[in-house]
């Protein structure tokens, strides 16, 4: 497995390197990327990484923007260990997170958000106070003020220097804990809490959090709590984890007041991942070493995305001229039986030119070349398919005869290019609206008709043949009518049956199967019920020849 790691270069913690070493102990490869360079590397990560640890501290120098990194990863389909971008943005907004926790019955320190210098604090908010920028992390800008004059001065300084709201909240004296939560097979598990032994008033400053920590640290210890206190803290932590929409792992900063109330101060969605920091120490007390902790987090994340993104399937398919090796990266589908059946029926002659439209993995292009085609042009619009077809041509020693081009149907061709054979299996599933790569228009013939109409100017007028696979769930009658308008001879050379279920289509788009049923009742779509929830349509393999003059 290859794991992407995003860290902020220059930040005091060494999380990226710690994660990399822990993953190496598990036998995983890693790709380390600076958060400031993530836009340059996200495509590479999407191609090679199975999952990503996003430990961005700041993005473009601001803590408030770090959830944008996670949004970018998610936009490229990358599974991310930890909360999604929306939950990350909520937890990173201290004011919004406090409101959400309070609404869920979780105690938080009373506070007030200050947005401009000179703003009057409410009378109920009496010093000493904690001031903290709403969007920053690692205690940047954190200050303890003891009177209103000092509060006014520091608020003005923070607002001017950081350009973001400042949260002024009641200082909670007492014990401070780091409470870590990790998802497990049975749900969120609270690890043994850590208590900070910072001395004095116990304020964990930026300087405190930035220093290097050696094994055997003496400023932290496993918290000693009475059983009922521990149960209360654990219940509150699990409730807070759910209230903020967190997942996989997180850490809460909690203070217990002299009166016995646990106040939740902050949620940290990227807690330090160094072996001597709070999360790793709590995991150790729970019986997990650092690599085991990483494995636990990865396992929780992959339960949401069980198929590794970077997995490449390899297979051998039987073609008329012999076996062909295929490599299929994630996102490129395995050639269905109908495609292999069409490959078996093709009548490519030695030396002929062949055009494969919508080539996918390139299996039809390979079949044509293996049958003796002198030149094959394979066209697709999907970069993953184009890469796969290129690699598969090379795997089978056919790169000299198979040319891969990017384009939509005939748009990839030069002005006067003509071929002896055109072959296509275009998307043909009808739908009320576009829903994915199998969408073929309202009656399923949108792409099929484009292939038929465009073939006239691209086939050799005398010996050119068009081969298409049509499905009866689409409006085959309309397609056959168009073929007969354009060609002298139209033959249905073969047919196979394709079973399916209603659920298969409703999972593509809600309400799709009832739409197909309506088309079926109108005679536009043709399929029948086999038994219970199982249905079947026909695959039709059609050969058209004898191009008619316009």
What string of DSSP letters covers 173-215?
-SEEEEEEEEEETTEEEEPPPEEE---TT----HHHHHS---S
pLDDT of residue 369: 97
CA distance 468 to 492: 10
Same domain, 292 and 378: no
Same domain, 190 and 335: no
Domain that holds residue 18: 2-82
**What CATH number is associated with residue 243?**
3.30.470.20
- The structure's pTM equals 0.64
Q: Which of 302, 336, 362 is the last residue of a domain?
A: 302
pLDDT of residue 308: 52
Same domain, 96 and 16: no
Same domain, 96 and 77: no
pLDDT of residue 393: 97
Same domain, 102 and 52: no
pLDDT of residue 203: 66
Same domain, 414 and 468: yes
DSSP for 479-546 reads HHHHHHHHEEEEEEEEEEEEEEEHHHHHTTSTTHHHHHHHHHHTTSS--EEEETTEEEEEEEEEEEEE
CA distance 487 to 475: 19
Tens of pLDDT, residues 510-526: 999 999 999 999 999 99
Same domain, 224 and 298: yes
**In the chain, how long is the greatest CA-to-CA distance?**
95
Q: Please check whether residue 356 is in contact with residue 298, taking contact to mean a CB–CB distance below 8 angstroms.
A: no
Same domain, 363 and 492: yes
- DSSP class of residue 462? T
- Cα 519 to chain centroid distance, Å, stands at 34
> Per the structure, how many domains does the chain have?
3
Q: Give the β-pairing of 487-501 and 353-357.
A: unpaired
The ranges of the chain with pLDDT < 70 are 10-13, 137-139, 198-214, 305-311
Same domain, 515 and 535: yes
**What CATH number is associated with residue 496?**
3.40.50.150
Residue 382, exposed/middle/buried by CB under 10 A (0-12, 13-18, 19+)? middle
**What CATH number is associated with residue 21?**
3.40.50.20
Q: What element of type H or E holds 131? A: strand 129-133
> Does the residue 307 lie in any domain?
no
Same domain, 72 and 102: no
Same domain, 356 and 372: yes
């Amino acid at each position: 497995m290859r794991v992407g790691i995003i860290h902020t270069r220059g930040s005091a913690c060494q999380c990226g390197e710690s994660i990399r070493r822990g993953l190496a102990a598990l036998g995983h490869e890693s790709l380390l990327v600076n958060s400031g360079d993530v836009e340059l590397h996200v495509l590479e990560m999407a191609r090679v990484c199975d999952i990503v640890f996003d430990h961005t501290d700041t993005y473009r120098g601001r803590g408030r923007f770090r959830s944008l990194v996670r949004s970018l990863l998610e936009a490229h389909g990358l599974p991310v260990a930890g909360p999604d971008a929306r939950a990350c943005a909520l937890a990173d907004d201290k004011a919004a997170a406090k409101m959400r926790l309070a609404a869920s019955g979780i105690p938080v320190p009373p506070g007030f958000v200050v947005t401009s210098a000179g703003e009057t604090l409410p009378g109920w908010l009496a010093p000493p106070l904690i001031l903290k920028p709403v969007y920053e992390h690692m205690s940047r800008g954190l200050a303890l003020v003891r009177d209103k004059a000092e509060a006014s001065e520091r608020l003005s300084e923070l607002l001017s220097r950081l350009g973001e709201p400042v949260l002024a909240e009641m200082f909670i004296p007492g014990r401070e804990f780091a409470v870590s939560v990790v998802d497990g097979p049975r749900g969120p598990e609270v690890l043994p809490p850590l208590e900070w032994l910072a001395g004095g008033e116990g304020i964990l400053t930026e300087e405190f959090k930035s220093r290097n920590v050696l094994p055997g640290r003496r400023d932290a210890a496993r918290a000693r709590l009475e059983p009922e206190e521990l149960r209360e803290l654990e219940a509150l932590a699990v409730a807070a984890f759910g209230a903020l929409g967190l997942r996989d792992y997180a850490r809460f900063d909690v203070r217990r007041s002299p009166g016995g109330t646990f106040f939740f101060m902050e949620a940290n969605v990227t807690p330090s991942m160094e072996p001597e920091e709070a999360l790793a120490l709590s995991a150790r007390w729970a019986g997990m070493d650092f690599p085991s902790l990483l494995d636990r987090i990865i396992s929780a994340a992959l339960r949401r995305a069980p198929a590794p993104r970077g997995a490449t399937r390899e297979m051998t398919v039987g073609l008329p001229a012999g076996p062909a090796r295929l490599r299929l990266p994630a996102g490129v589908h395995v050639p269905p039986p109908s495609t292999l059946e069409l490959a078996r029926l093709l009548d490519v002659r030695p030396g002929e030119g062949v055009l494969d439209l919508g080539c996918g993995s390139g299996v039809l292009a390979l079949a044509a070349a293996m049958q003796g085609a002198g030149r094959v042009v394979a066209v697709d619009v999907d970069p993953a398919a184009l890469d796969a077809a290129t690699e598969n041509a090379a795997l089978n020693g056919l790169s000299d005869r198979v040319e891969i081009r990017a384009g939509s149907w005939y748009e990839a061709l030069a002005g006067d290019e003509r071929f002896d054979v055109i072959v296509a299996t275009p998307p043909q599933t009808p739908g009320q609206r576009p829903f994915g790569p199998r969408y073929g228009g309202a009656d399923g013939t949108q792409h099929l008709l484009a292939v038929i109409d465009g073939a006239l100017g691209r086939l050799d007028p005398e010996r050119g043949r068009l081969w298409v696979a049509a499905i009866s769930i689409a409006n085959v009658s309309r397609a056959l009518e168009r073929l007969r308008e354009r060609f002298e001879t139209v033959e249905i050379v073969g047919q196979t049956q394709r079973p399916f279920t209603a659920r298969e289509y409703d999972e593509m788009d809600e309400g799709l199967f009832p739409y197909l049923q309506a088309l079926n009742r109108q005679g536009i779509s043709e399929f029948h019920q086999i038994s219970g929830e199982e249905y079947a349509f026909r695959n039709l393999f059609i050969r058209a020849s004898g191009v008619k003059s316009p």
